Structure 1
Amino acid sequence: MLIKTNAIVLNSLKYGESQLIVDLFTESHGRLSFMQRIPRTSRSGVKKQFFQPLTLLNIEFDYRASQKLQHIKEASVAWPFVSLPFDALKLSIALFVAEFTSYCTRSEQANPSLYLFIENSVRWLDACERGFTNFHIIYMLHLTRFIGFYPNLDDEDTDTGCNTYFDMRAGSFVKHVPVHSDFLRPDEARKIRLIMRLNYTTMRLLSLSRSERNRIVEVILQYYRLHQPAFPDMKSLPVLQQLFG
């Protein structure tokens, strides 16, 4: 079946002399992997540079459900980046977000809302000129809304309380210490609740130190590991911690 769809590049790995194994999150079918031959001629319609992390593509491929690796027939860039690959800080965020999203969506089927969130996030980061140092934190937290474990912020009784804990197993804010060890104490719980209410536009109002930002990222990764078993260590995290600390 010939499919035309939008897609986001998550990862690519060289295979042999002239092929790539590429992981994409597609709007039509969710997560798919492709074995892609890269011709040496510049006149080819599918170019190696199309498969850099977070590149937004329009692709056409012959979908075969029985095959683990699909094959792209045609591809074009849907959103030519103006800054993301050329700004060292943005690029470090992009590499982290691509790796993180790759782990989070390994079993995702078609999910148009999730696809739109990721695409709009990438476009926002590319277009933003300043105030994006907290981008990855907002992205990680809000992604939970689309994959099933968005924290419960609806309890008005705990909304302004000074002694509210965040139960990471339940994904909710509670008044009493949970019976397990996977929780945040009130000072950190309040910070997570505050960040959950921010978006890309308002996140510039949040001032974080190196240690605070790194701690928040560690907490969010711990939260994901509780809800997504076998979530691996992030290879791109040390670079991000150094640049945005």
Structure 2
Amino acid sequence: MLIRTNAIVLRSLKYSDSQVIVDMLTEQSGRVSFICRLAKTAKGKLKKQLFQPLTILEITYDSRPRVTLQRITDACIRQPFGSIPFHPYKLTISLFIAEFLLYSTRDEQQDLPLYQYVESSVRWLDATVRSFANFHLVFMMRLSRFIGFFPNLEDYRSGDFFDLRNGIFSTLPPLHPDYLSPQESAKIGLLMRMNYESMHLFVMTRAERNRCTELILDYYRLHVPGFPELKSLPVLRELFE
């Protein structure tokens, strides 16, 4: 069955001299992996440039339920980037976000709100001209709402501990080691008050931002089986002052 859908590239791996394996988050089918034969001539449809991380595509593929790697029959760029490939900081953040999504959405089925959130976020990053140093923090925290472990902030009081396993605040430390001190728990509340339009108002040092990144990734590792250390993280740590 032919399916036409919007899709966001997460990873592209060389399979042979003429083929690549591409992991995508699609609007119609959730996470799908494809094997694509690259064009050998300028007139070919499937060019290597289409499959750069976070590229927003419109694709057609032949869906076969018992096949692990689907085959794309047609693809075109749905939203050309105006700045991400040419801005070193935006490019670094985009590579981190793509790798982060590769593992955090690994088992996701069709989820239209999730897809729309990711696509609109990528579009925002590409278009923004104001400070975006906290973009990845806001993106990761708000993605947890769609995956199912968004922190419960309703009962937060200053001085509370944050239980990483259960995503809740408590006045006493839980009876397991996966929790944050009151000082670091306050950072969770701070992060949840940010959005893309207001995050430039929250000034952080590089060390503070990197610590928040580590806390969020630790939170994901507790809730997403097999979530690994991200290879793109060391480069991200060096961004901004």
Is the shorter-chain TM-score for this pair beyond 0.5, marking a shared fold?
Answer: yes
Amino acid at match of 1:172: I
Asked if residue 201 in structure 1 is aligned to residue 197 in structure 2, the reply is yes
Alignment match, 1:108: 108
Alignment match, 2:3: 3
What is the distance in 1 between the residues matched to 2:146 and 2:233? 23
Alignment match, 1:50: 50
Alignment match, 1:20: 20
**Number of positions where the alignment pairs a residue of Structure 1 with one of Structure 2:** 241
Q: Following TM superposition, where does structure 1 have runs of at least 4 consecutive aligned residues deviating by more than 2 angstroms? A: none
Alignment match, 2:228: 232
Counterparts in 2 of 1:1-245, with a 5 A limit? 1-155=1-155, 158=156, 161-244=157-240
The secondary structure found in structure 2 opposite 1:188 is helix
1:191 Cα deviation from its structure 2 partner: 1.6
Identity of aligned pairs, percent? Answer: 54
What is the distance in 1 between the residues matched to 2:87 and 2:168? 37
RMSD across aligned positions (CA): 0.9
Q: List alignment gaps of at least 5 residues for structure 2.
A: none
Query: TM-score, with normalisation over the residues of structure 1?
Result: 0.96
What is the distance in 2 between the residues matched to 1:152 and 1:229? 21
1:19 Cα deviation from its structure 2 partner: 0.6
What is the distance in 2 between the residues matched to 1:26 and 1:216? 29
1:45 Cα deviation from its structure 2 partner: 1.8
What is the distance in 2 between the residues matched to 1:24 and 1:65? 16
1:244 Cα deviation from its structure 2 partner: 3.3
What is the distance in 2 between the residues matched to 1:179 and 1:215? 24
Amino acid at match of 1:101: L
What is the distance in 1 between the residues matched to 2:236 and 2:199? 18
The secondary structure found in structure 1 opposite 2:238 is helix
What is the distance in 1 between the residues matched to 2:77 and 2:104? 24
1:173 Cα deviation from its structure 2 partner: 1.1
Amino acid at match of 1:174: S
Once the two structures are superposed, what CA deviation does each residue of 1:89-138 show, in whole Å capped at 9, x if it has no partner?
Answer: 00000000000000011111101110000000000000011210110010
What is the distance in 2 between the residues matched to 1:232 and 1:11? 15
1:230 Cα deviation from its structure 2 partner: 1.4
Amino acid at match of 1:89: Y
The secondary structure found in structure 2 opposite 1:85 is helix
The secondary structure found in structure 2 opposite 1:78 is strand
Q: List alignment gaps of at least 5 residues for structure 1.
A: none
The secondary structure found in structure 1 opposite 2:42 is coil
